[in-house]
């Protein structure tokens, strides 16, 4: 098998370690191979790829979609990020729990975050390029979010003064969201 997929403490979130072939020229790896990923336990259909470039201390998120929820396969192609998923599924035994992992262009680790989770990341290097594959098309009218610093979630971000978009800086805390604005 050319990849290793491991479960995390939050059901559905998977940590993926692709096989990297390195030599004096550099490296090669498959960032996604439908058949191999499916055989290893990640059997989803991706329909859209996104690429984000951000500078040091940028924090993007926490975002989620309700009517068109996206599963996301995320990895850093340059730099290092701290990537976070928060379980927003009201019916889940891990509701409000979060999982965070460092992803970098040196480790080549990937994370899969299933629908029903909010996603965000912060940049730990001078800059970072992040690529993520999505299982559903983006719909701007369907994007919702939770404030990155919500004390009821308690994410331990490795930065204290993030650079935020105007939109992300005024997202509500989870307790302000009505039940019908959260995944079941």
Q: Of all helices (H) and strands (E), which one includes residue 130?
A: strand 127-134
d(CA 74, CA 22): 21
> CA–CA distance from 28 to each of 21, 31, 33, 100, 128 (Å)?
5, 9, 14, 26, 19
The distance from CA 78 to its chain's CA centroid, rounded to whole angstroms, is: 16
Does the annotation count 132 as an active-site position?
yes
Active-site entry in 32, 119, 132, 138: 132
Active-site entry in 63, 64, 138, 184: 63
> CA–CA distance from 165 to each of 29, 61, 96, 134 (Å)?
33, 9, 23, 22
The distance from CA 137 to its chain's CA centroid, rounded to whole angstroms, is: 16
Does the annotation count 63 as an active-site position?
yes
Which positions are catalytic? 63, 132
């Amino acid at each position: 098998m050319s990849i290793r997929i491991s479960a995390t403490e939050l059901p559905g979130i998977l940590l993926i370690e692709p096989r990297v072939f390195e030599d004096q020229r550099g490296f090669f790896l498959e960032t996604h191979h439908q058949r191999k990923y499916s055989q290893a336990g990640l059997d989803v259909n991706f329909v859209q790829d996104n690429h984000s470039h951000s500078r040091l201390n940028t924090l993007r998120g926490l975002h989620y979609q309700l009517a068109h929820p996206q599963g996301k396969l995320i990895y850093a192609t340059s730099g290092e990020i701290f990537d976070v998923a928060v379980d927003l599924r009201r019916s889940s035994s891990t509701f409000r729990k979060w999982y965070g992992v460092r992803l970098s262009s040196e480790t080549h680790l990937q994370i899969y975050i299933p629908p029903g989770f909010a996603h965000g990341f912060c940049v730990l290097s001078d800059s970072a390029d992040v690529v993520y594959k999505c299982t559903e098309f983006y719909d701007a009218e369907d994007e919702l979010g939770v404030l990155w610093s919500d004390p009821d979630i308690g994410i331990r971000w490795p930065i204290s003064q993030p650079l935020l978009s105007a939109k992300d800086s005024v997202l509500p805390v989870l307790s302000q969201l009505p039940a019908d604005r959260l995944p079941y």
